Structure 1
């Protein structure tokens, strides 16, 4: 499977067997919280490393038309749970708690969350994961920013880290970028090879539909 829609990566993860599913909103929120407890900083690219984030658009286009640059597994065998290798070169990666490239290289789908008109709805039961629906999903009771930019403030909710305003920078406030759009949207996490300082542990894109196909977005299985 070279690339696909969120629903197709959802199926691929479930096909691994009982207990497997695509990474979901509550899981990535727990990882983000763990990172904050350990580092005490929103600035993940500074604390751990930039990862594969600083290629120019033209370089990546010429290299392979925005397709993935590396297979996963570059950090296999790494004894340190938090590591950055390289800075922008082919072979660069970042790893946190042995999760390879939580930001950078390609975007990763996040399941268990649907956004309708900037309002997030979440679900933690993978048997109900579905796109463009509120059925079996719970509203977080907040409205997210409708403007694009570096995140400044977050929703006052105990469940996750989602932006309600922009106006920061790559080194202030939340330090990561946010791309929204109206209508039904899915969540992409982390940023990609050409997103530079926009990328990071809290970088999110909520500008894509569930039916969109892009070679620079992938899925991550979890158990």
Structure 2
């Protein structure tokens, strides 16, 4: 369909509507008690959120429907006590007693939506957010903000290889399937397996500019949002068992492992994770946290804590340095063989020393309660390929 070109008058009216809406959003943020700089940042984030699904005409109505923005700027987070207990928190570390339905009105979670693409790959779009990780007393906190704030950084999942920021991240709604040698991202298909991680990277890049393989930063962003929303790391218990109890691989989209439209984040088949590898001596090597997604890899100098040991996480790496920051990632620094002594119920398989290895996430169809969105294997070389390993495309917009 050919759409008529707007007249100069119509264009002016559209611009005027947009300006009025932006001013309204700033005033709403100021009325909520934010300082001017934070109010502007909050208004920008809200404008980007509401104008995409609603347009300028419906933006004010949408914001009014979703309620006032609190003086905390919408900051929510999760805290892990040294005794292993998790709790939702606000920016000050106070316990939040929100029901899960609260997140349906939060600018980040409410902005997660299904988006079709011109390459016939169904995706789920996640709005950008800012993150802060720190230790306070006997707790470790991960905080999420829908806008820029002092002490917070844009989550690396929303950075392009050239270091510029993305407004949204799109991840494959389903693991990749195959059609005539190309990726098909639809429900009801057999996951594409039997490829190496380098094959998977090439298949994703072949979709066009901006497409890449699902990365450690994408995974970490989703893990954090899921953890804050559910308040519990046991996603099998909170959301669904998934295909993890035997019987072989199922078609994409036919398991109960679903979060906000993203299917098969655990169980069914393992998924290659780009942007993370371990060197022969166990050193953690990552995509640059400032320019992720290209050929800029950073040797962190940090050794993977559990080494060759398999088990369940009890703590996470939080080292920082030039070009890297492990604190937003849920990369175990210590594991226990006893699940009851752990803080995450998903299993981690350790590094095989003496060879460089890549990362797989989620577990497969026969991993039972060991599978989950935090399940991680760090023992496979780059040449690994098999019927239980698949992959997922992502797109930085």
Q: Please, which of 127, 150, 157 is the counterpart of residue 294 of structure 2?
A: 127
Structure with greater helix share of residues: 2
- The C-alpha deviation readout for 1:197-217, integer Å capped at 9, x for no partner, is 111111000010001121110
Q: Provide the C-alpha distance between the structure 2 equivalents of 1:27 and 1:193, rounded to a whole number of angstroms.
A: 22
Per the alignment, residue 344 of structure 2 pairs with 174
Could you tell me which runs of 5 or more consecutive residues in structure 2 were left unpaired when the two chains were aligned: 1-177, 179-191, 319-325
Q: Please, which of 67, 71, 77 is the counterpart of residue 251 of structure 2?
A: 71
Instruction: Assess if the C-alpha contact under 8 Å between 1:108 and 1:218 holds in 2.
Output: yes
For the residue of structure 2 that corresponds to 1:93, the secondary structure is coil
TM value normalised by structure 2: 0.45
Displacement of 1:34 after TM fit? 0.8
Per the alignment, residue 152 of structure 1 pairs with 314
1:20 aligns with 2:244: no
Displacement of 1:19 after TM fit? 0.9
Bigger drift between 42-51 and 165-174 goes to 165-174
Displacement of 1:170 after TM fit? 6.8
Could you tell me which runs of 5 or more consecutive residues in structure 1 were left unpaired when the two chains were aligned: 61-68, 75-90, 129-135
Instruction: Assess if the C-alpha contact under 8 Å between 1:176 and 1:198 holds in 2.
Output: yes
Displacement of 1:150 after TM fit? 1.8
Per the alignment, residue 209 of structure 1 pairs with 381
TM value normalised by structure 1: 0.78
Displacement of 1:159 after TM fit? 3.1
CA RMSD across the alignment: 1.8
- The C-alpha deviation readout for 1:157-177, integer Å capped at 9, x for no partner, is 323111121114179411111
Kindly report which structure 2 residues correspond to 1:17-166, keeping only aligned pairs within 5 A, or say none: 17-55=208-246, 59-60=247-248, 69-72=249-252, 74=253, 91-116=254-279, 117-123=281-287, 124-128=291-295, 136-144=296-304, 145-146=306-307, 147-156=309-318, 157-166=326-335
Per the alignment, residue 107 of structure 2 pairs with none
Q: Provide the C-alpha distance between the structure 1 equivalents of 2:371 and 2:379, rounded to a whole number of angstroms.
A: 15
Instruction: Assess if the C-alpha contact under 8 Å between 1:153 and 1:174 holds in 2.
Output: no
Q: Please, which of 355, 358, 367 is the counterpart of residue 195 of structure 1?
A: 367
Alpha-carbon spacing, 1:126–1:186, altered in 2? closer, same or farther (3 Å)? same
Per the alignment, residue 394 of structure 2 pairs with 222
Q: Provide the C-alpha distance between the structure 1 equivalents of 2:228 and 2:269, rounded to a whole number of angstroms.
A: 26
For the residue of structure 2 that corresponds to 1:110, the secondary structure is strand
Displacement of 1:115 after TM fit? 1.0
- The C-alpha deviation readout for 1:136-182, integer Å capped at 9, x for no partner, is 21234532212111222211232311112111417941111111122
Displacement of 1:71 after TM fit? 2.7
Alpha-carbon spacing, 1:161–1:141, altered in 2? closer, same or farther (3 Å)? farther
- The C-alpha deviation readout for 1:27-56, integer Å capped at 9, x for no partner, is 11111111111111111111111100011x
